[in-house]
C-alpha cells in the first residue's frame, strides 16, 4: 500500500481532506501515481491548482507521483478548475488533476480528477484509481532514465477566455456596458474573471482578487458569507454582483438592488439564456437537489429537464446521455458543453449578462418573472450508512404519505408542490437535507420531519 488508509472524503467530486490531518502528502503522491497508471496510462497529464497555501506543496507531490510512473506533466499554475479540463483536450492529454478543495476552508485541499475527454472521472474510473492506490501493480516506478518530463504552460487561460467569448453575443453585452461588482474570494477566478468581464465591455469593480492573500471569509458563496456584497453593489450602482468560490467553478449572484439571489438562480438564469437561443425541444440537465424553478423556465421555451444524482460527474453523464445544451446544479455550477464538460462560473457570468442584454431589463425584474419557491438547506451529522438505514422508515412515515420516492441518491420525497431530499455529502463528512415548498415555513417543516424521524443532529461547522 502506498500510504496510510484513506480517511478523507472520497467521491467523484474529489478526494479531499484537511492537510496534515485527514489527507497526507504521501497519500497525495500515491494517489497521483495511481491516477497516472489507472487513468492516464503513464502518458501526458495536466495539473493546476487554486490559490491555497498548500497548493504548491501538493502540486510538487502530484508532479513527482506522476513523473515517477512515466507521465509527462504540464503544469498550468493557478487556474480555475474548468481551465484544467479545457487544457486536457487542448494538449491531447490523457487526463488532468486540479488541486483544489473548492468551497472548503483554507485548511482543506483536494485532488479533482479529469479523464482524457476533459470531464470528471466517473465512479468506475474513481474506483480504478482507489484500487490502484491500494494494490499498486508491479513495476509502476520508472528507472532514472525513463521518468516523465515536466514543463509549465500558461496558455490555457487564453483558450478558456476565447471559448467563453465565442459562446455568447459579445456585441449585445458590450452595447449595454454593464457595471459588474466581482468578488473572487482571492481565489483562482482572480486570474480570468476580470479579464473576461473587461473583454465583454463591462465596467469591472473587483474585490478580493489577490492571489497572494488568504480567503477573506468562509469561501462558500452562501447568503451569510457574502452579505457584504449587497451594500457594495448598491454603492457602486452596479447592474449585477458576481461571487465565485476559490476554484471558480461556482457562481452566486446579487441583483442591482443588493439582494442576494442565491446560487439556485444561477442555473435558472443561465438556462433561460441558453434555452431561449436553442429553441423548442432542447434539454437541460440538473441534479435531484436543484430547484423546480428550472422546470418552469424550461417550459417557457418548450424545453424539458432531466435529473440525475448529485455531483458534477453525474450531471455530465446525464447531459451526454440526453444531449443537453445546458446543465448544472443548484450550488451555482453551470455546465455549457460549448465551453467545457464541467462547472464553470465564467460562462455563467457571460450567459447572465447576455440574458440581461437581450431582455434589456434590470436583473430584479427578470427574476420577478420566474415563479419563486422557498428552498431550505441544512447539514446534519449522518454518514452514508446512517442515511441508507433511515430510508425505509422515512418512506412509510405518516407525513410522507402520497409522496413519490426516488432512491437514486439517498432519498427524495416529492409532492406536486414540494419536495425534500436527504443524502450523504460527496464533499464533506456529513449529510444534507434540502427541501423546497411554496413558503419557507413549509420547507423547514419538511426538513424538521426528516431530522426528527432520523434523530439527526446539526453538523458542526
User: What would the pLDDT profile of 207-238 be if each residue is shown by its tens digit?
Assistant: 999 999 999 999 999 999 999 999 999 999 99
Alpha helix positions (H), 312-396: 312-322, 345-359, 363-368, 384-395
CB 110 within 8 A of CB 16: yes
- Residue carrying the nine cell digits 500510504: 3
Using one digit for the tens of pLDDT, what is the confidence trace for 348-391? 999 999 999 999 999 999 999 999 999 999 999 999 999 999 99
Chain segment 51-64, per-residue pLDDT in tens? 999 999 999 999 99
Task: Give the contacts of 175 (CB within 8 A, at least 6 positions apart).
Answer: 201, 357
What number is the average pLDDT over the span 297-302?
A: 96
The per-residue pLDDT for 3 is 53
Kindly list the structural domains of the chain, giving each domain's residue range(s) and its CATH number in brackets, ordered by start. 9-154 (3.40.120.10), 159-368 (3.40.120.10), 374-454 (3.30.310.50)
User: Does residue 138 have a pLDDT over 70?
Assistant: no
**Residue 137: its pLDDT value, please?**
60
At 4 the pLDDT is: 67
Mean pLDDT of 146-160: 97
CB-CB contact of 36 with 128 (8 Å): no
Tell me the average pLDDT across 433-449.
97
Upper half-sphere CA count for residue 100 (Cβ side, 13 Å): 32
Q: Which of 13, 102, 190, 425 is catalytic?
A: 102
Residue 1 scores a pLDDT above 90: no
**pLDDT at residue 323 tops 70:** yes
pLDDT at position 338: 98
Give the model's pLDDT for residue 270: 98
Annotated catalytic, 106? no
Give the DSSP H/E element, type plus range, for residue 284.
strand 283-287
Q: What is the mean pLDDT of residues 397-415?
A: 96
Instruction: Give the pLDDT mean for 415-444.
Output: 93
**Phi–psi pair at 378, nearest 5 degrees:** -150, 160
DSSP-derived letter for residue 381 is S
> Does the pLDDT value for residue 337 go beyond 70?
yes
Rounded percentage of the chain residues whose pLDDT exceeds 70: 98
154 against 3, higher pLDDT? 154
pTM to 2 decimals?
0.92
Task: Say yes or no to pLDDT of 2 above 80.
Answer: no
Strands 431-437, 374-380: pairing is antiparallel
pLDDT for the residue 429: 81
- Output the average pLDDT for the chain: 95
Alpha carbon separation from 76 to 96, 157, 268 (Å, rounded): 11, 9, 32
Q: Over the Cα atoms of the chain, what is R_g?
A: 22
In this structure, of 132-136, 186-190, 242-246, 448-452, the range with the lowest mean pLDDT score is: 132-136
| Whether residue 277 has pLDDT greater than 90 | yes
Distance separating alpha carbons of residues 396 and 403, to the nearest angstrom = 10
Mean pLDDT calculated for residue range 401-418 = 96
pLDDT of residue 202: 98
Amino acid at each position: 500500500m502506498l500510504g496510510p488508509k484513506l480517511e478523507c472524503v472520497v467521491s467523484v467530486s474529489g478526494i479531499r481532506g484537511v492537510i496534515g490531518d485527514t489527507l497526507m502528502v504521501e497519500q497525495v503522491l500515491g494517489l497521483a501515481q495511481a491516477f497516472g497508471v489507472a487513468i492516464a496510462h503513464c502518458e501526458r497529464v495536466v495539473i493546476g491548482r487554486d490559490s491555497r497555501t498548500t497548493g504548491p506543496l501538493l502540486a510538487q507531490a502530484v508532479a513527482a507521483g506522476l513523473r515517477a510512473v512515466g507521465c509527462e506533466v504540464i503544469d498550468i499554475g493557478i487556474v480555475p478548475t474548468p481551465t484544467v479540463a479545457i487544457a486536457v483536450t487542448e494538449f491531447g492529454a490523457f487526463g488532468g488533476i486540479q488541486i483544489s478543495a473548492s468551497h472548503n476552508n483554507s485548511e482543506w485541499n483536494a485532488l479533482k480528477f479529469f479523464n482524457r475527454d476533459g470531464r470528471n472521472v466517473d465512479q468506475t474510473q474513481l474506483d480504478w484509481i482507489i484500487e490502484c492506490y491500494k494494490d499498486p501493480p508491479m513495476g509502476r516506478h520508472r528507472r532514472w532514465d525513463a521518468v516523465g518530463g515536466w514543463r509549465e504552460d500558461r496558455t490555457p487561460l487564453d483558450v478558456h477566455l476565447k471559448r467563453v467569448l465565442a459562446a455568447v453575443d459579445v456585441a449585445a453585452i458590450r452595447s449595454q456596458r454593464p457595471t459588474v461588482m466581482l468578488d473572487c474570494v482571492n481565489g483562482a477566478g482572480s486570474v480570468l474573471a476580470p479579464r473576461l468581464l473587461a473583454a465583454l465591455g463591462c465596467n469591472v469593480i473587483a474585490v478580493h482578487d489577490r492571489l497572494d492573500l488568504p480567503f477573506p471569509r468562509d469561501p462558500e458563496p452562501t447568503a451569510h458569507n457574502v452579505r457584504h456584497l449587497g451594500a457594495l453593489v448598491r454603492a457602486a450602482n452596479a447592474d449585477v454582483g458576481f461571487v465565485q468560490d476559490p476554484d471558480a467553478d461556482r457562481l452566486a449572484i446579487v441583483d442591482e438592488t443588493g439582494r442576494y439571489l442565491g446560487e439556485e438562480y444561477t442555473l435558472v438564469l443561465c438556462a433561460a439564456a441558453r434555452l431561449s437561443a436553442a429553441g423548442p425541444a432542447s434539454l437541460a440537465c440538473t441534479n435531484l437537489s436543484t430547484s423546480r424553478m428550472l422546470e418552469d423556465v424550461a417550459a417557457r421555451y418548450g424545453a424539458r429537464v432531466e435529473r440525475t444524482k448529485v455531483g458534477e460527474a453525474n450531471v455530465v453523464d446525464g447531459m451526454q446521455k440526453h444531449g443537453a445544451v445546458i446543465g448544472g446544479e443548484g450550488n451555482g455550477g453551470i455546465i455549457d458543453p460549448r465551453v467545457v464538460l464541467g462547472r464553470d462560473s465564467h460562462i455563467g457570468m457571460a450567459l447572465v449578462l447576455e440574458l440581461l442584454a437581450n431582455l434589456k431589463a434590470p436583473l430584479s425584474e427578470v427574476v420577478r418573472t420566474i415563479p419563486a419557491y422557498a428552498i431550505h438547506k441544512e447539514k446534519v451529522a449522518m454518514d452514508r450508512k446512517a442515511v441508507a438505514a433511515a430510508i425505509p422508515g422515512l418512506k412509510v412515515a405518516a407525513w410522507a404519505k402520497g409522496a413519490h420516492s426516488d432512491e437514486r441518491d439517498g432519498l427524495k420525497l416529492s409532492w406536486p408542490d414540494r419536495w425534500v431530499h436527504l443524502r450523504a455529502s460527496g464533499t464533506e463528512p456529513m449529510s444534507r437535507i434540502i427541501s423546497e415548498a411554496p413558503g419557507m415555513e413549509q420547507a423547514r417543516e419538511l426538513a424538521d420531519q426528516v431530522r426528527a424521524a432520523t434523530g439527526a443532529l446539526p453538523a458542526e461547522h
